[in-house]
Structure 1
Amino acid sequence: MLSAPSAIRRESFWPARVAILAVVALQVTLNERVTVGPNWLLPGLEVLLLIPLSVVRGLHARRLHLGTAGNVVVSHATARTFAFGLIALLNVANLLSLLLLVESLLHGSKATGRLLLVDALDIWVTNIIVYALWYWELDRGGPLQRQSGAAARRDWLFTPMTLPDGGQSWHPTFVDYLFLSFTNATAFSPTDTLPLTPAAKVLMMLQAGISLLTLALVASRAVNILS
């Protein structure tokens, strides 16, 4: 049963949508040497997937906030699976670009050092945004579950949650997950937010590994340029 509208905490989906569009923009700017097919192909598919997902998610959020039980063609579980699929596509596309960049470096690419560094930075920033989306979608059953007050167990323990009131007056937003992703990509370990579940720990390990590899490539290329 839905909670009363007054008990529901609103959380905008727009930061996540803008983050996805930012990833799309970063992918379009990649050199086709490190993309699968034309550099507009996967970004175009991602935008086509984002549009219906945004509509369905918007309907679910409106239904939740109004406290109505009206029918929605696509269930919340299906929409969330669809969201995971979109994030996975973003992630796989970025991983493929990283692998193509590694191959390009190993085989003595004729691209200039500047182009290679720009592509590596593009991939690194994309990695941060994509994993912020993973964390935001995974934590406590997803954004709609967190808003409804029927959230599952925590996947991450944020610092405000350790306050005397148990963090009842504080709720993470997309910016908090983006900060978590950034600190994990730069420190290669949790900083002020601890992963509590196996899924959270695996995601953070994967992100740190990808970030470390990307930065190592940048460092090695910079050394070559300087020498």
Structure 2
Amino acid sequence: MIATLAAITLYLALPQRLLIAPRYVLPALELILLVPLIAINPRRLTRQTRAFRVLSLLLVAVIAMGNLVALSILIHELVYAGVKDGRSLLLAALQVWLTNVIVFGLAYWELDRGGPVSRTQEPRGALPMADFRFSQDENDDAVEEVADGASGRSDWVPTLVDYLYVSVTNSTAFSPTDTMPLSTRAKFMMSIQSVSALLTSLLVIARAVSVLH
């Protein structure tokens, strides 16, 4: 909920020229999708229905599409509109980048091993194939103090913080670091995120700095 609200707040703070609809339309839709998700699991994610799964994935998709559209308009403004306000451009680029980190972290969290409810409520043998391989998944034969936190020994499962870390590293290094994508969809999403982050970091920020100078 906090991550979603942060993404909504970042979107609301974007300049109007980067939005394809009135400012509050997309955030209102996201809140409409968020409210029933909270109602189904008000405290902890322990219940999952088909409707819950569809709503949660749709919420992430709406946030992602809104941010990708904002990035596309931002690039168009740079290339064709001759934007001269470098400071606002830098701020908008940072907002798009941060939203990119949040939304892809949420997407990885929602999809990997059947989602957050399945990962915590189902036995390991019943989980779908993993989309990501974390270092904890292969530390069973490491030194004792490292192996104690491995998945096989401690029943460790990744949380939202772990997926946000994957998202941050993918957005800064433009490639996987210590967590490897396994499935085709994970590789596809990480590719989209890397390209988006690369465009934001190199094209947008470089142009904004040049405008400032």
TM-score (ref. length: structure 1): 0.82
Quote how far apart the aligned CAs of 1:110 are.
4.5
Identify which of 3, 19, 32 aligns with 1:48.
Answer: 32
> After superposition, what is the alpha-carbon deviation per residue over 1:142-200, rounded to whole angstroms, capped at 9, x for unaligned?
01111122321211110011111661312111000000000000001110001111111
Separation (CA, whole Å) in 2 of partners of 1:59 and 1:26: 25
> After superposition, what is the alpha-carbon deviation per residue over 1:70-115, rounded to whole angstroms, capped at 9, x for unaligned?
xxxxx62231121111100000000111111112112234551101
Separation (CA, whole Å) in 1 of partners of 2:34 and 2:197: 26
Name structure 2 gaps, 5 residues minimum: 141-146
Separation (CA, whole Å) in 2 of partners of 1:61 and 1:183: 26
Matched, 1:128 2:95: no
Q: CA RMSD in A?
A: 1.8
Counterpart residue number, 1:7: none
SS of the residue corresponding to residue 172 of structure 1 reads coil
Q: How many residue pairs were aligned?
A: 199
Name structure 1 gaps, 5 residues minimum: 1-16, 65-74
Matched, 1:92 2:76: no
Separation (CA, whole Å) in 1 of partners of 2:196 and 2:83: 24
Identify which of 109, 113, 131 aligns with 1:140.
Answer: 113
Separation (CA, whole Å) in 2 of partners of 1:118 and 1:59: 34
Separation (CA, whole Å) in 2 of partners of 1:143 and 1:111: 44
Counterpart residue number, 2:138: 162
Matched, 1:38 2:22: yes
Bigger mean CA offset, 25-34 vs 106-115 = 106-115
Q: Match of 1:199, as an amino acid?
A: R
State, as a whole percentage, how many aligned pairs show the same letter: 39
Partners of 1:57 and 1:79 within 8 A in 2: no
Counterpart residue number, 2:176: 190
Counterpart residue number, 1:220: 207
Q: Match of 1:124, as an amino acid?
A: W
Q: Match of 2:210, as an amino acid?
A: V
Q: Match of 2:32, as an amino acid?
A: L
Partners of 1:156 and 1:195 within 8 A in 2: yes
Identify which of 74, 78, 102 aligns with 1:105.
Answer: 78
Identify which of 173, 177, 198 aligns with 2:163.
Answer: 177
Identify which of 49, 58, 71 aligns with 1:76.
Answer: 49
